[in-house]
Amino acid sequence: MIRAGDTGWVLQEAFAERGAALNAAKYALLQKTFSGAKVIKETCNLATGEYLPITVFEEGGPKVVKHKRQLRPEDVRLPCATPSDLYGSKARAAISRVLEDTLKGEGLTTMELLHRADVLQSLQSRGTVMQHAVQKWAVVQASAENLPVTEIIKQLNDLVSRGMARVFTEDRAGRCPKDAEGNLGRAWEAARAVPEPNYVINCAIARTLSKVSGCSKKLPLLLSLMDHLPGEERGQAVCLASIDDFAAEMVSGRASLADFLGAQPDLGASLTLMVDLFLGNADNPDIAGRPGLKQLAGFFVNDGLPHSRKAIVTRVLQELNGIKRLSPDDINREVALTRSLAKRMVLCQGPMVSLEDIVSAFETRSVRLTALEMAEEYMAAASTPDARIELLLDLEDNIIGSASKARLVNYILPILTGPKMERLFLDAHEPLLRRLGCLAALQGRVLASGFPETEKGQVVEAFDVLSSRVEEEGQLFQSISRRAVSGAEKALTMLRLLDAKVLTEGTCATRASRHILQWMRDPEFVSELGEVKFSPGPGASENPVIWFRDLVAKTGVQERVQAAKAD
């Protein structure tokens, strides 16, 4: 037995028996002799001669004081060290998060903010806006890196001040000539000689976009700059990359979908339009009727503006993984949109989006569709329990993910085995064969479904149990057996029930198959079969024996009985 000391565990006593050691440890804890006790069993490894310790009991323990590491200011290193780092994609994404409300209110992208001195001056005059943004970024960074918030705020304030000072200095120096607005060819003449030509091009683009407001107007204006690119190959590459960055931010998650796509009935319609845009489908009327979207589709179909195209599909996945409904007021449209989008998204898989990401997004969406409140809403139109089950099977056709499908079984089984379902199908007012056929049809849908095998088996069996009760109370098999006709006629009647799929798989169909085989054993069966009137279908044999044998094989009579014997 080991007791807890001031700085660690200390050996207190050795015992030959495990029980005695456990009793001593527990007694010491009850008497509060030690703050903790541990019992360790040592086993000798004969191959190495070493003793291997195994803990069999432990409670309490030594008090270990954790000393927090003292960080010096120079130990704190931010992802962005210089003003130029603020223009990277990750830094821009962080800025768009902490200044989301401000950017939306001003109708700006982060690229515009970082290259327009007038906007930065306006933000600077509203000191609390920048202060709150810095604090939000600092808190997140401090939590992720386990660093002191105050030092991060200090360094961020310094970085932001230097970044803004750079923009003001460049603006006063006139790096980007005013006559370059709307013409990147002229802007390149000023940019080609400076160390960071892309900064000058970005300033020219931001100044051009400042003349209009709203994504619906800025996007076509931005893309129109493609008509005035520099003739030099290097200049074209820099200008196209800058246009792509601006466009990507316009279509990213921080912009308003309505402003970007125009008014749409719901989120599902917006996402459908975005997928068509990603695929370059300019035939979509909503794309063809909006200049900016039509231009984007034209570039995408020719593999142009890759960052913008990637931003489109990324946003679609973000929305699918989000909590907003595709159609808030219509659950049936919600399900239909989910299926339609899944089919479209499969066409998007490639270098920009993997099939795994697409599947994951729709699995997440399926989890929400199979939540209890959503399932109840989907079944609300059904007036009978069998109709409710049928709707749940419809829902299963439109979702993916074994967990979501298994959840539907948890809704189906209580309905299937409940008193309302029993009353409905044990009610003699409805024709017997119609009731049996309904149960068999529903069971057939379950057998063809994508339910996990264990859950599928439970539902299939429950249908068969109910169907067997319906058959027994209706005495269907007894009535066929008692008919004053030949055994061949009885066997054919039962066989037609199996062929028409009126009987559920399991006990019900197996019992019918046994009756058929029993009548077939009669020595007079073949001669009786020749006297049976039948009308073979197209391609069927005119010989009644051959025709009957083919029907037996088709319905699996012998296989079903043999499988039941094996069980």
* pLDDT tens track for 231-254: 889 999 999 999 999 998 888 765
Strands 51-60 and 2-4: unpaired
Beta-carbon contacts of 508 under 8 Å, excluding residues fewer than 6 positions away, are 436, 464, 467, 468, 471
Q: What is the pLDDT of residue 537?
A: 66
Return the biggest CA–CA distance within the chain.
Answer: 111
- Residues facing 37 on adjacent strands: 3, 59
Are 319 and 271 in contact by the 8 Å Cβ rule? The answer is: yes
Whether the model pTM is above 0.85: no
- For residue 518 the two structure tokens come to 């029993």
Is residue 47 scored above 70 in pLDDT?
A: no
Q: Phi/psi at 424 (nearest 5 deg)? A: -65, -40
Edge-to-edge strand ranges of the sheet holding 51-60: 9-11, 2-4, 36-44, 51-60
H helices of 174-232, where?
184-191, 197-209, 215-224
Distances (CA, A) of 87 to 84, 96, 196, 550: 6, 12, 12, 75
Q: Which helix (H) or strand (E) holds 11?
A: strand 9-11
Cα–Cα distance for residue pair 415/23, rounded to 1 Å: 54
Work out the pLDDT band at 255, boundaries 50, 70, 90: low
Q: What is the pLDDT of residue 45?
A: 52
- For residue 435 the two structure tokens come to 């009731």
Work out the pLDDT band at 434, boundaries 50, 70, 90: very high
Distances (CA, A) of 63 to 9, 30, 60: 10, 19, 9
Q: 3-class SS at 148?
A: coil
Is residue 446 scored above 90 in pLDDT?
A: yes
Share of the chain above pLDDT 70, in %: 88
Q: Across residues 363-367, what is the average pLDDT?
A: 93
- What tens digit of pLDDT does each residue of 515-530 get? 999 999 999 988 888 8
DSSP string, 490-517: HHHHHHHHHHTT-S-TTHHHHHHHHHHH
Is residue 82 scored above 70 in pLDDT?
A: yes
Work out the pLDDT band at 68, boundaries 50, 70, 90: very low
CB atoms within 10 A of CB 348: 19
Cα–Cα distance for residue pair 505/190, rounded to 1 Å: 80
Mean pLDDT score of the chain: 85
Cα–Cα distance for residue pair 566/557, rounded to 1 Å: 15
Q: Across residues 42-59, what is the average pLDDT?
A: 65
- Residues facing 58 on adjacent strands: 38
More confident site: 535 or 192:
192
Per DSSP, which regions of 23-146 are E strands? 36-44, 51-60
- Comparing CA positions, the residue from 262, 266, 260 lying closest to residue 325 is 266
